Amino acid sequence: MEETKPRKIMFVNRKAPHGSIYAYEGLEVILIFGAYDQEISAVFLDDAVLSLKKGQDTTELGTKGFSATFRVLESYGVEKRYVDKESLAQRGLTEDDLVVDVEIVDAAALRKVMGEQDVLLPF
Amino acid sequence: MEETKPRKIMFVNRKAPHGSIYAYEGLEVILIFGAYDQEISAVFLDDAVLSLKKGQDTTELGTKGFSATFRVLESYGVEKRYVDKESLAQRGLTEDDLVVDVEIVDAAALRKVMGEQDVLLPF
Amino acid sequence: MLHIVNKSPFKFRNLDSCLRIAKDDDPIMLIEDGVYAALPGTTLDRMMKEALKTHSVFAIQADLKARGVDRIIEGIQVCDYSCFVTLVEKHVPYSWL
Amino acid sequence: MLHIVNKSPFKFRNLDSCLRIAKDDDPIMLIEDGVYAALPGTTLDRMMKEALKTHSVFAIQADLKARGVDRIIEGIQVCDYSCFVTLVEKHVPYSWL
Amino acid sequence: MKFGILIQEGPYNHQASDSAYNFILASLAKGHEISGVFFYNDGVINTTKLMDIPADDRNISKRWSDLGAKGVQLIVCVAAAKRRGISQNVLIENARIDGLGQLSELCIESDRLVTFGD
Amino acid sequence: MKFGILIQEGPYNHQASDSAYNFILASLAKGHEISGVFFYNDGVINTTKLMDIPADDRNISKRWSDLGAKGVQLIVCVAAAKRRGISQNVLIENARIDGLGQLSELCIESDRLVTFGD
């Protein structure tokens, strides 16, 4: 392990928001990690693409909303943000349904970039 | 609601043992309920049929085993014990693989008996 | 009997199990992440449309709003907690956890 | 990359997601309820046999024993925690939670 | 009608506790009686008074305690509580730790038993 | 090698804590270093000293504390702990409550980071 080289740390998000706290707590971790000088990236796969859906309003539910926070990922140093194409399609969503600018990638591209990481954190 | 008539209370077990505590804590509830004069029954559906599998030995794992306890359900007043036929088949199991004598039922029979209950408890 | 489903049908097979066992005419209540089953144009679209032929399907409004699900499959009924309570008055509930 | 799967494939779709994304030759480690994927003669038998063509698949011995899974699909390798550690030495792990 | 409520999950981690609370409010608003709320499994974590919640978020244990003050029975399973470090010393007001027999009573005396969990 | 461990689930309710513990023992036996165990989400419940466990079952929080005594860093996320009623007063010995930045440090300094959860 080389101490000086920045580490490639990827957040692999797969859980839906609101039904459980993982998506929210995962986002909190990403924002903290952005402050460290590492190569941080985030992938939204499976149900995690639902975290990025436009129009979420938790007022009536009485719980905390957090979808707007995904918009600041870039300014927090999370340079790469990938969304799995098939996960979107399975859920009837397109890029226009999402609150953030992301790179839509297919399984082959995802496979490649995940394989290049030093750390893969599941949320 | 008639206070004097025994209530039909059914435990609908659907979770696998060991990976989470639900199957174990569900079993604890069944044993307590047997002491009350109600019509108690238990159904093993989906992954819960795995709780009844013979040959479970948690020694190496370091956790508590409990599959033997299913054998005493009858003496604890749990008169009816159903196992879903399709759940067994999906998992490559037959009646011979189970630690207890149960009634193997199909979806139609299960549908009927579940529809007759006053309380359905999920574990 | 009222079938309550609270899990995303894309990650869990709970809704499949529910639909296999539910009796014709038994209502189905989608709550929490279960409301994602109401999204139109998904890989589950056909399964849901089939379910709607024999079941009333309801989805909690607050859960739909929280998740930004503003378009839903035709025939699924939006339901507030008061409507959920009414369904529980009429049917013995079971939660497909 | 080492793929760790800890959920029953009969209730959760985690293993399906893992198999869709896993690169050829990436090993797959079944732990906890994930070891149920090693049961032979199930509805997932074909999927597992297909997976074994391109992946080494391991299952934790203590988890198999705890669950009474004494017969497993041919080709799946029984692995103790020490063997699990060796796999983590060699590959960056990801848990499909 | 009389409704019994069974909660199997801890607060915040899963929505179960929120859904149960919203269901209870709607039930009371329609004139139903809540015969009791039974906290089992990780559900017992709903009843610790040690929670320290950010000002902009709901305080789930306080919400339960307030409901208890209005006369709703809050019953915490003793066996599940012990495993998770919930004892009389950390218990919210208006809740009580009791045995699984109380869940059985709840099933017998309630017209409906509704479970919220994971 | 240096292994960092992330635990996202509470004890007993899920097997995550047991799997992590068994993995750590095997790692130490093979001469690896555990650079730290970070408890996040419900994982923080692993570190309450108030657990009261039946004699025939493993005491999970004691097991962690004993591992801490052997020099393994046990770090409990402060934000997650607050939500779940875990504070300094109820914390097991040999663990410390700290910020999420510590998880970042763990990712940077460890050769591998292994997550156990639900």
Q: Crossing angle, helix D45-54 and helix D14-21, to 10 degrees? A: 30
pLDDT tens, position by position, F101-117:
999 999 999 999 999 99
Q: What is the DSSP string of B51-99?
A: GGBTT---TTTTS---GGGGGGTGGGTEEEEEEEHHHHHHTT--GGGBS
Does B2 have pLDDT greater than 70?
no
**Residue spans of alpha helices (H) in chain F:** 16-29, 60-69, 78-83, 101-109
Q: Are D81 and F22 in contact (CB < 8 Å)? A: yes
Q: Do B107 and C96 touch (CB under 8 A)?
A: no
Cα E38 to Cα E4: distance, rounded to the nearest angstrom: 8
Residue B3 has pLDDT above 90, yes or no: no
pLDDT of residue A5: 86
**From residue A54, how far is each of A49, A106, C71, E26 by CA, in Å?**
11, 22, 12, 28
Specify the pLDDT at position A3. Answer: 56
Min Cα–Cα distance to chain F from B21, Å: 5
For chain A, the chains sharing at least 3 beta-carbon pairs closer than 8 angstroms are: C, D, E, F
Q: Which residues of A99-123 are buried (b: 16+ CB within 10 A; e: fewer)?
A: bbebebbebeebbebbeebbbbbbb
**Polymer length in residues for chain B:** 123
Run of H or E including F37: strand F33-39
Nearest CA in chain C to D11: C13
| pLDDT at position C72 | 98
What percentage of chain A reaches a pLDDT higher than 70? 97
Contact C92/B118, CB-based, under 8 Å?
yes
Residue among E81, E52, E96 at smallest CA distance from F50: E81
- Which chains have 3 or more CB–CB distances shorter than 8 Å to chain F? A, B, D, E
CB–CB contact B45 C94 (8 Å): no
Q: How would you classify residue F88: left for phi > 0, otherwise alpha for psi between -120 and 50, otherwise beta?
A: alpha
Does the reported pTM lie above 0.90?
yes
Give the closest-approach CA distance of E80 to chain A in angstroms: 21
pLDDT at B120: 98
Contacts 24+ apart (CB under 8 A), B87-90: B87/B44, B87/B45, B87/B46, B87/B47, B87/B48, B87/B49, B88/B49, B89/D43, B90/D10, B90/D42, B90/D43
- For all residues of chain A together, what is the average pLDDT? 94
Contact yes or no for D11 and C12 at CB 8 A: yes
Number of C-beta neighbours around residue E16 at 10 A = 29
Among B22, B24, B61, which would you mutate to test the F interface (most chain F Cβ atoms within 10 Å of its Cβ)? Answer: B61
Structure tokens at E3: 């409704």
Q: So what's the pLDDT on residue F36?
A: 98
Average pLDDT over residues E47-71: 96
B/F interface, count of CB pairs below 8 Å: 23
Kindly report, residue by residue over D26-81, the tens digit of the pLDDT. 999 999 999 999 999 999 999 999 999 999 999 999 999 999 999 999 999 999 99
Mean pLDDT of F82-100: 96
Query: What is the rounded CA–CA span in Å between residue C89 and residue F109?
Result: 57
Residue D37 parent element (H or E): none
Location of structure tokens 């893969």: A120
Residue B79 binned pLDDT confidence (cut-offs 50, 70, 90) = confident
Low-confidence stretches of chain C (pLDDT < 50) are: none
Q: Mean of the per-residue pLDDT values for chain B? A: 94
What residues of chain E lie within 8 A of the CB of F52, using their CB? 82-83, 85, 87
By C-alpha distance, the chain E residue nearest B1 is E111
Tens digits of residue pLDDT in F25-69: 999 999 999 999 999 999 999 999 999 999 999 999 999 999 999
What pLDDT score does A79 carry?
Answer: 85
Asked if F5 and F112 count as a contact pair (C-beta separation under 8 A), the reply is: no
From A39, A34, A49, select the one nearest A82 (Cα to Cα).
A49
For residue A105, the one-letter residue type is V
Residues of E in contact with A26 (CB under 8 A): none
**F31 alpha-carbon distance from chain centroid:** 20
pLDDT class for B34, splitting at 50, 70, 90?
confident
User: How far A5 CA sits from the closest chain C CA (Å)?
Assistant: 37
Q: Residue E53's closest chain A neighbor by CA?
A: A64
Q: How far is D61 from chain C (nearest CA, A)?
A: 26
Which of D33, D86, D93 is closest, CB to CB, to F114? D93
pLDDT band at residue B35, thresholds of 50, 70 and 90? confident
Closest chain B CA to residue C96: B122
User: Nearest residue on chain D to C8, judged by CA atoms?
Assistant: D12
For residue B38, pLDDT beyond 60: yes
- How would residue D14 be classed by pLDDT, with cut points 50, 70 and 90? very high
- Assigned token pair, E74: 């809050």
**SS3 (DSSP) at F114:** strand
Provide the annotated active-site residues of F. 77
- Per-residue model confidence as pLDDT tens digits over A71-101: 999 899 898 999 999 999 999 999 999 999 9
Are the C-beta atoms of D76 and F96 separated by less than 8 Å? Answer: no
- Look at residue B73 and tell me whether its pLDDT is greater than 70: yes
Q: Above 60 in pLDDT, residue B1?
A: no
DSSP-derived 3-state class of residue E97: strand
A12 close to A120: Cβ distance less than 8 angstroms = yes
Confidence check: pLDDT of A62 > 60: yes
Q: Chain D contacts of B89, Cβ < 8 Å?
A: 43
Interface probe, candidates C94, C95, C96, chain B, greatest B C-beta count within 10 A: C94
